[in-house]
């Protein structure tokens, strides 16, 4: 029986439309093989939406997203919109999309593909085989806590204030996503906090520890964030799934990403309690190479695989896409950003064609 899904496509700006086109072709090809039918609806976000409507996230776009099973986003932003007031900036559209869909969990895998080990800065033996998932809380913590702002003290000094706060329920819902993610992986969860100094972290540690009873198949450990940063660089292979708050997750997920050495390869997922998740590459809109058919579409294609795995519960189709990416890299195809000696240089479209040819052999 065919399973049908409504997917909102948000190509956005810069290289967005180019990499999105490749991901859509790949989804269609795998869908045909696996009896999945996709109904795609394209909508405006970011600079493209500002140009057309004056707003970075038109209500019509949010409504389309809410009515779909999943949202596939490319990237937003570019020089043209950099000097607009904050509420009209492309990035504001992205934050509004996350808020509008209640996306509180950000999943960022850092997987080293064997073909690209040499693109990483640490030594080969340190990074070879790294496969980490960072689960970051996205809508709470110090980025949203109150009071916040610039105040004046009694002596006339300026005082900048932000508040790191989490409630039981905010911790429990991200904890649930993290334990379930670890269950789908190797069953090891490391919770990162600063419980030796911060009360908010003590609460975080207590709640996560209490939840572990419900997940006997997951082994839970805890690390202070300073130690976690060190361990990520020293011996990243010790990690499977990491769960942490908004600020620590922001920093650690970028550090983990850099282990892989190639920003054009990294997908992400942002999930809510129910409703559609948003699946997008970690990189931006790369305005420096936009419109030149030079972009690496693989992070976008791997985001589509994450959408199948985490959003549509179609892990076999996700496996197939990930396998295709693996094979084209094995065959030596490289876009400019991951090019090395002796490999076959391809354009964005060329990489898409190589993927389709590989998927064709899976029949």
Where along the sequence are the contacts to ligand NAD (CB under 6 A)?
A: 15, 75-78, 91, 94, 263-264, 280, 283-289, 295-296, 299, 337
Query: Contact, 301 vs 322, CB < 8 A?
Result: no
Cα 217 from Cα 183, distance rounded (Å): 7
Q: How far is the CB of 111 from ligand NAD (least distance, A)?
A: 16
Residue where the block lists tokens 């069953």: 187
Minimum Å gap between C-beta 279 and ligand NAD is 12
**How many Cβ atoms sit within 10 Å of the Cβ of residue 54?**
9
Work out whether strand 278-281 and strand 70-75 pair parallel, antiparallel, or are unpaired. Answer: parallel
CB of 18: closest distance to ligand NAD in angstroms?
A: 9
| CA atoms of 31 and 21, how far apart (whole Å) | 15
Quote the CA–CA distance of 177 and 18 in Å, as a whole number.
32
The structure tokens 């420096």 sit at 288
Nearest distance from C-beta of residue 292 to ligand NAD, angstroms = 10
Across the strands, what pairs with 243?
135, 191
- Residue nearer to ligand NAD on the CB measure, 12 or 140: 12
Catalytic-labelled residue, pool 254, 293, 319, 337: 254
Q: Is 226 a catalytic residue?
A: yes
Q: Which is nearer to ligand NAD, 94 or 355 (CB)?
A: 94
**176 tagged catalytic:** no
Nearer to ligand NAD by Cβ, of 75 and 182: the residue is 75
Report the 10 Å Cβ neighbour count for 340.
Answer: 11
Shortest distance in whole angstroms from residue 118 CB to ligand NAD = 17
CA angle 116–122–123, rounded 5-degree value: 80
SS3 75: strand
**Based on CB atoms, which residue is closest to ligand NAD, 238 or 347?**
347
Nearest distance from C-beta of residue 278 to ligand NAD, angstroms: 10
Catalytic residue among 63, 214, 226, 288: 226
Compute the distance between CA of residue 208 and CA of residue 196 in angstroms, rounded to an integer.
Answer: 16
Q: Among residues 91 and 180, whose Cβ is nearest to ligand NAD? A: 91
Q: Which of 118, 59, 53, 61 is nearest to 260 (CA)?
A: 118
Nearer to ligand NAD, 180 or 337 (CB): 337
Catalytic residue status for 79? no
Q: What distance in Å separates the CA atoms of residue 42 and residue 61, rounded to the nearest whole number?
A: 9
Q: How far is the CB of 12 from ligand NAD (least distance, A)?
A: 6
- The DSSP 8-state label assigned to residue 144 in this structure reads T
Residue 117 structure tokens: 């080990």
172 an active-site residue?
A: no
294 is catalytic: no
In b/e form, how buried is each residue of 129-149, taking b as 16+ CB within 10 angstroms? Answer: ebebbbbbbbbbbbbbbeeee
Catalytic annotation, pick one of 28, 80, 143, 349: 143
Largest CA distance in the chain: 74
Q: Which of 194, 279, 310, 333 is catalytic?
A: 194
Which residue is catalytic, options 166, 193, 250, 333?
A: 250
Neighbours of 210 (CB within 10 A): 13
Closest Cα to residue 23, out of 290, 278, 305? Answer: 305
Enumerate the active-site residues: 143, 194, 226, 250, 254
């Amino acid at each position: 029986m065919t399973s049908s899904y409504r997917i909102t496509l948000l190509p956005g700006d810069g290289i967005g439309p180019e990499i999105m086109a490749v991901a859509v072709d790949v989804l269609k090809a795998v869908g045909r093989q696996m009896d999945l039918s996709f109904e795609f609806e394209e909508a405006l976000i970011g600079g493209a939406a500002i140009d057309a409507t004056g707003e970075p996230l038109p209500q019509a776009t949010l409504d389309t997203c809410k009515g779909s099973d999943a949202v596939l986003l490319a990237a937003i932003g570019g020089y043209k919109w950099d000097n607009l007031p904050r509420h009209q900036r492309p990035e504001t559209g992205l934050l509004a999309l996350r808020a509008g869909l209640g996306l509180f969990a950000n999943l960022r895998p850092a997987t080293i593909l064997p073909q690209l080990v040499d693109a990483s800065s640490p030594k080969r033996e340190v990074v070879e085989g790294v496969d980490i998932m960072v689960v970051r809380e996205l809508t709470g913590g110090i980025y949203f806590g109150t009071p916040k702002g610039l105040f004046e003290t009694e002596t006339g000094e300026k005082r900048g204030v932000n508040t790191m706060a989490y409630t039981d329920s905010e911790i429990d819902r991200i904890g649930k996503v993290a334990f379930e993610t670890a269950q789908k992986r190797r069953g090891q969860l490391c919770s990162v906090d600063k419980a030796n100094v911060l009360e908010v972290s003590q609460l975080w540690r207590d709640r996560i520890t209490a939840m572990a009873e419900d997940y006997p198949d997951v082994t839970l450990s805890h690390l202070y964030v300073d130690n976690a940063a060190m361990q990520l660089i020293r011996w990243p292979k010790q990690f499977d799934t990491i769960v942490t708050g908004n600020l620590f997750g922001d920093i650690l997920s970028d550090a983990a990403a850099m282990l892989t050495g190639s920003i054009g390869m990294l997908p992400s997922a942002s999930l809510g309690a129910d409703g559609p998740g948003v699946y997008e590459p970690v990189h931006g809109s790369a305005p420096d190479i936009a419109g030149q058919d030079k972009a690496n579409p693989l992070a976008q294609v791997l985001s589509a695989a994450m959408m199948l795995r985490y959003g549509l519960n179609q892990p076999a189709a996700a496996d197939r896409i990930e396998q295709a990416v693996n094979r084209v890299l094995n065959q030596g195809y490289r876009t400019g950003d991951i090019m090395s000696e002796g490999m076959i240089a391809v354009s964005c479209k060329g990489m898409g064609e190589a993927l389709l040819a590989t998927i064709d052999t899976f029949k």
